[in-house]
Structure 1
Amino acid sequence: MITRDRRERLLGTLERITRLPEEPPVVVVDNGSSDGTAAAVHERFPAVRVLTPGHNLGAVGRTYGAAALDTPLVAFSDDDSWWEPGALARAAEVFAAHPRLGLAAAATLVGPDAGPDPLNDVLAASPLGHEPDLPGPSVLGFLGCAAVARRDAFLEVGGYHPVLHFGAEESLLALDLEAAGWGVAYCPALIARHQPDGAGGAPRPGRAAQVRRNVLLTAWLRRPLRHAVAHTARLALEGRTDPTARLALTGAVRRLPAALARRRALPALVEARVRVLEGAG
Structure 2
Amino acid sequence: MQRSPVGVVIATRDRSAGLALTLRHLLALPERPEIVVADNASTDDTRALLARDFPQVRVLALPFNRGALARTHGVRALRTPYVAFSDDDSWWEPGALAEAARLFAVHPRLGLLAARTLVGPENEPDPLNKVLADSPLGTATDLPGTQVLGFLACACVVRRTAYLDAGGFHPLLFFGAEETLLAYDLAARGWGVTHCPGVVAHHHPAPGPRTDRPAVQRRNELLTAWLRRPLPYAMARTRAVAAEARRDPHARRALREAAARLPGALRARRALPPYLERAARLLDTDTGGTAGTDPGGPV
Q: TM-score with structure 2 length normalisation?
A: 0.92
Q: 2:239 aligns with which of 233, 240, 248?
A: 233
Q: 1:168 aligns with which of 144, 167, 177?
A: 177
Task: Tell me the residue number matched to 1:21.
Answer: 30
Q: Does residue 209 of structure 1 match 2:218?
A: no
Task: Give structure 1 stretches of 5+ with no counterpart.
Answer: none
Task: Tell me the residue number matched to 2:228.
Answer: 222
**Which one-letter code corresponds to 1:272 in the other structure?**
R
**Matched residues, percent identical?**
59
Structure 1: distance between partners of 2:31 and 2:175: 30
Q: Deviations over 1:159-206 (max 9, x none)?
A: 00000011110000000000000000000000000000014xx4x111
Task: Tell me the residue number matched to 1:71.
Answer: 80
Segments of 4+ in structure 1 off by > 3 A? none
Deviates more, 1:72-81 or 1:250-259: 250-259
Q: By how many angstroms is 1:155 displaced?
A: 0.6
Deviates more, 1:167-176 or 1:239-248: 239-248
Task: Give structure 2 stretches of 5+ with no counterpart.
Answer: 1-9, 288-299
Q: By how many angstroms is 1:122 displaced?
A: 0.6
**Which one-letter code corresponds to 1:253 in the other structure?**
A
Task: Tell me the residue number matched to 1:118.
Answer: 127
Question: Secondary structure, in 3 states, of the residue corresponding to 2:146?
Answer: coil
Q: CA RMSD in A?
A: 0.8
Q: Does residue 3 of structure 1 match 2:30?
A: no
Q: By how many angstroms is 1:13 displaced?
A: 1.0
Q: 1:68-217 maps to which residues of 2 (within 5 A)?
A: 68-199=77-208, 202=209, 204-217=210-223
Question: Secondary structure, in 3 states, of the residue corresponding to 1:167?
Answer: coil
Q: By how many angstroms is 1:238 displaced?
A: 1.1
Structure 2: distance between partners of 1:198 and 1:83: 20
Q: By how many angstroms is 1:39 displaced?
A: 2.1
Q: By how many angstroms is 1:36 displaced?
A: 2.3
Q: Does residue 263 of structure 1 match 2:272?
A: no
Structure 1: distance between partners of 2:71 and 2:254: 24
Structure 2: distance between partners of 1:242 and 1:117: 27
Structure 2: distance between partners of 1:245 and 1:183: 33
Question: Secondary structure, in 3 states, of the residue corresponding to 1:184?
Answer: strand
**Which one-letter code corresponds to 2:21 in the other structure?**
G
Q: Does residue 272 of structure 1 match 2:278?
A: yes
Structure 1: distance between partners of 2:45 and 2:15: 9
Q: By how many angstroms is 1:102 displaced?
A: 0.2
Question: Secondary structure, in 3 states, of the residue corresponding to 2:153?
Answer: coil
Q: By how many angstroms is 1:254 displaced?
A: 1.0
Question: Secondary structure, in 3 states, of the residue corresponding to 1:189?
Answer: strand
Task: Tell me the residue number matched to 2:53.
Answer: 44
Q: Does residue 12 of structure 1 match 2:21?
A: yes
Q: By how many angstroms is 1:25 displaced?
A: 0.4
Structure 2: distance between partners of 1:137 and 1:272: 17
**Which one-letter code corresponds to 1:230 in the other structure?**
A
Structure 1: distance between partners of 2:286 and 2:77: 39
Structure 2: distance between partners of 1:157 and 1:39: 34
Task: Tell me the residue number matched to 2:6.
Answer: none
Q: By how many angstroms is 1:279 displaced?
A: 2.2
Structure 2: distance between partners of 1:9 and 1:53: 19
Q: Deviations over 1:14-64 (max 9, x none)?
A: 111011110010000101101121121121111100001111111111111
Q: By how many angstroms is 1:261 displaced?
A: 1.1
Question: Secondary structure, in 3 states, of the residue corresponding to 2:194?
Answer: strand
**Which one-letter code corresponds to 1:45 in the other structure?**
F
Question: Secondary structure, in 3 states, of the residue corresponding to 1:52?
Answer: strand
Question: Secondary structure, in 3 states, of the residue corresponding to 2:157?
Answer: strand
Question: Secondary structure, in 3 states, of the residue corresponding to 2:115?
Answer: strand
Structure 2: distance between partners of 1:280 and 1:19: 39
How many residues matched? Answer: 278
